[in-house]
Amino acid sequence: MRAERRNSRYLPDAPLPDGLVVTSDLDTAVRGADVVLIVVPSHAFRQTLEAVRDAGGQPRIAWATKGFELDTGLLPHKVAAEVLGGERPTAVLSGPTFAGEVAAGLPTALTIASEREDYADELSRALSTENLRPYTSTDIIGVEVGGATKNVFAIGAGLCDGLGFGANTRIALVTRALAETTRLGVALGARRETFMGLAGIGDLVLTCTDDQSRNRRFGLALARGVPAEQALAEIGQVVEGYYAARSTRRVAERLGVEMPIVEQIYRVLYEAVEPRDAAATLMRRPIGSESR
């Protein structure tokens, strides 16, 4: 990457800016930094935070990591508090953002959430460009829950479309997925209205409906009968929803939150339930209020 000045594996058509220095040494990367932006899968988040902490200094931290920590079920801001303490300013970047479109300079909006409103405002101004518009929030829990769950539902959307269930099924899944995410988020302390924004319904719809989503493509592959391990290998990138199905289910069970779609996707992935049987189980659930 240093020699080619581009990420030839994932973003080959996006040359790196001239002012960006590429290094494989984390100490060099963060030395003297005022803000460190971490963009790693959720399973590597704690380890990366520990490395940043051990590199010295007191940089403010932001991340674009999405997902509950697998072993603990903690959201990223809780992991950050455990590793760094609670005094350092932290923020999360989330929302409907396919990397290829951002790199191509296509108009994109996202959410920057921090418990410190001034930090969110500062990051928003620093990252704003003619084609990237950040909005700020103080509901870091809601923004993180939206990012933690949407990949699970994207697998479900891929399964539905791969099985030929049609547009009615897809939009029913997305709508009820939003209800499940909102229930979980509110139980964790989020504000309900956050899930009607970019990091909630925005990211959910994007991930469930466009084949740039590797989680959706994973669901499509499963619907074709491709074994999970083979589908993961063929995609060649981390399919966060595969792991998030397990961690989200665990968090929901701990809180007593009903998430029937997550439950059925989990069973398809980990208990060898046939996708059509999982769909039938959902359709046979007792009739109830849409507000539940």
Angle between helices 214-223 and 228-235 (to 10 degrees): 140
The catalytic residues are: 150
| Structural domains present in the chain | 6-140 (3.40.50.720), 141-283 (1.10.1040.10)
Convert the pLDDT of each residue in 65-117 to its tens digit. 999 999 999 999 999 999 999 889 999 999 999 999 999 999 999 999 999 99
A 10 A CB-CB count for 136 gives 18
CA distances from 63 to 41, 49, 138 (A): 10, 10, 15
Residue 19 pLDDT class (50, 70, 90 cuts): confident
Convert the pLDDT of each residue in 184-203 to its tens digit. 999 999 999 999 999 999 99
| Cα–Cα distance measured from residue 101 to residue 103, given in angstroms and rounded to the nearest whole number | 5
Contacts of 225 (CB under 8 A, 6+ apart): none
| Cα–Cα distance measured from residue 27 to residue 35, given in angstroms and rounded to the nearest whole number | 14
Strand 11-15 to 6-7 pairing: antiparallel
- State which amino acid sits at residue 48: T
What are phi and psi for residue 21, nearest 5 degrees? -95, 125
